[in-house]
Amino acid sequence: MALALRDDQRHTYGEYLAWPEEARYELIDGIAYAMGPAPLRQHQRVVLEIARQIAAAVDGGPCEVNVAPFDVRLPRGNEGDDLIDTVVQPDIVVVCDRSKLDDRGCRGAPDWLVEVLSPSSAGHDQVRKLFLYERHGVLEYWLVHPADQVVTVYRLENGSYGRPLVQELLGTLSSSACHHVEIDWDIIVRGLR
């Protein structure tokens, strides 16, 4: 299912900030995509547990974890925030360069992004955002498929993601962007039952 467009115009982050808070959008290359309704409870349980495990592992270190809604602004160059035409709200955002963080979220590529797939946004996350994150240099991008109990992991090597790692939600999986973080899938799967 494709996400609805706000309209057929191109927008900037400056405009985005003026929109009503109850209507959530992501901007990709100036196109405003409407965020779907609130995710299912199962989705939120998976997001919460992954974020909890990451937060426990990075506590006291340079990395910070945030969950949606959290704006990630991806500028094309040195343009001011108001002129940025790409802002996304991944489910989980891990940033290890704290100079990229401010009161509005993150400006620049995070180190690691996690999306827990929902039927309403799966195509958007697996196609449009995949190419976007690769282009902007996100080191690691995980797509968690709760219904299929599979995770797809893209890791940036020589400027591209290449072939992904696909793994069942069994045992543990370590992040290459945050070497000291290991996700325990058994805990997450138990929470899905």
Asked if the structure places residue 119 within a domain, the reply is yes
CA distances (Å), 62 to each of 51, 132, 140, 178, in order?
A: 16, 25, 17, 10
Could you tell me if residue 111 is inside a domain? yes
Give me the chain's average pLDDT, please. 92
pLDDT band at residue 57, thresholds of 50, 70 and 90? very high
CA proximity to 62, closest of 95, 103, 106, 91? 95
In a domain, 171, yes or no: yes
Is 16 a domain residue?
A: no
pTM of the model: 0.94
CATH number for the domain that contains residue 111: 3.90.1570.10
Mean of the pLDDT values across residues 13-20? 93
Cα radius of gyration (the chain): 16
The answer, yes or no, to whether residue 121 has pLDDT greater than 80, is no
Average pLDDT, integer, range 153-176: 96
Beta-carbon contacts of residue 53 (< 8 Å; ≥ 6 apart) = 181, 182, 183, 184, 187
Which domain covers residue 171, as residue numbers? Answer: 39-192
Q: Which of 183, 115, 107, 119 is nearest to 154 (CA)?
A: 115
Q: What is the pLDDT of residue 17?
A: 94
Residue 1 lies in a domain: no
Q: Cα–Cα distances in Å, from 7 out to 10, 33, 63?
A: 8, 9, 37
Q: Quick check: is 30 in a domain?
A: no
Residue 3 lies in a domain: no
How many structural domains is the chain composed of? Answer: 1
Dig out the tokens for 94 from the structure.
């891990």
Residue 18: how many other CB atoms lie within 10 Å: 7
Q: Is residue 181 part of a domain?
A: yes
